[in-house]
Amino acid sequence: MTSRNCLDTEFPLVCQDALAHKPKAAFKKPSLNGSLLLYSLRVYYRKRLLKTVLLEEGCATKAKRLSPAAKVKLFEPIAEVPAQPLKPFSEADKALINAALTGNLEAAKHAIVNDANLNVEGSGRWTPMHFAAWGGYNEVVKLLITKEADLNAEDVNGKTPIDWAKGKTADLLRKYGGKTSEELSIHVAAERGNITVVKQHLAAGENVNAKDRAGKTPLDRSITNYQSETADLLRKHGGKTGEELEAEGK
């Protein structure tokens, strides 16, 4: 029976007739025989959210499967999940970011008095400290340090303010505890081939086979980025890849 072929599949089926017309007009004058059962589904088709109508009778010959990303059980309820809006910046937050970006010390002080978030994340997850460090605005950097802003916040690329700083600004950040992303993570140091910092991690007792969120070890990261000298060093200290550890049951 064609209705079983059409409706019992684990993939949602979209009739070509439905795709060729607007939803409201698709079946005003159906040419197919038999009774119609209308099912309203929200499915992703060609990356667009479409409302489609399925026919009980006769659609098996005219239907086509959707992409794997659109797999939905036909009779399973489809929950509406509201979008989670990003927390909007306050005017003080915006003012602090702009002050850090331009090196405006007085504007930064005013924004902080107005309860600006010292670690608010702007474009690229840059905090005011990132902006001030990148611009070399030492007075703003000092202000943020005295207010206990995060010296080692990571941006979207995993970089800290000191990674973007130079000269006196970098010295200032380091004086108060600022560290580079390589100094904070043996994985990053291995990935970038910074042997000196990798040695520092190992000397400090860092786990040579620690896994990151993707399940990769420092050795994995060094191999992926063609850091052969770093990989050799990690091997000498017992470094292994994630696959090797998994094979050993670790």
Structure-model confidence comparison of residues 160 and 24, the more confident one: 160
Q: Do the first three CATH levels of 91-182 and 185-247 match, i.e. the same topology?
A: yes
What single-letter amino acid sits at 236?
A: K
- Residue 208: pLDDT band with limits 50, 70, 90: very high
Q: Mean per-residue pLDDT for 230-238?
A: 95
Largest CA distance in the chain: 81
Q: Mean per-residue pLDDT for 200-204?
A: 94
Q: Mean per-residue pLDDT for 223-241?
A: 94
- On whether the 185-247 domain is CATH 3.60.150.10, my answer is no
Q: Give yes or no for residue 139 having a pLDDT over 80.
A: yes
Q: Mean per-residue pLDDT for 103-108?
A: 97
- Residue 89: pLDDT band with limits 50, 70, 90: confident
- Which of 6-15, 57-66, 124-133, 234-243 is predicted with the least confidence, judged by mean pLDDT? 6-15
Q: Give yes or no for residue 119 having a pLDDT over 60.
A: yes
Look over the chain and give the mean of its residue pLDDT values, rounded to a whole number: 76
Q: Give yes or no for residue 64 having a pLDDT over 60.
A: no
Strands (E), 103-199: none
pTM of the predicted model over 0.85: no
- Which of 68-77, 172-181, 230-239 is predicted with the least confidence, judged by mean pLDDT? 68-77
- Name the percent of the chain lying above pLDDT 70: 65
Q: Give yes or no for residue 29 having a pLDDT over 70.
A: no
φ, ψ dihedrals at 97, nearest 5°: -60, -45
Chain centroid, CA 182 distance in Å: 20
Domain ranges of the chain: 2-70, 91-182, 185-247
Structure-model confidence comparison of residues 213 and 160, the more confident one: 160
Among 46, 67, 57, 73, which Cα is nearest to 17's?
57
How confident is the model at residue 87, as a pLDDT? 65
SS3 for 169? Answer: helix
> Beta 63-65 vs 48-53: how paired, if at all?
unpaired
- Name the percent of the chain lying above pLDDT 90: 60
Contacts (Cβ under 8 Å, ≥6 apart) of 11: 65, 66, 70, 71
Domain covering 91-182, topology? 1.25.40
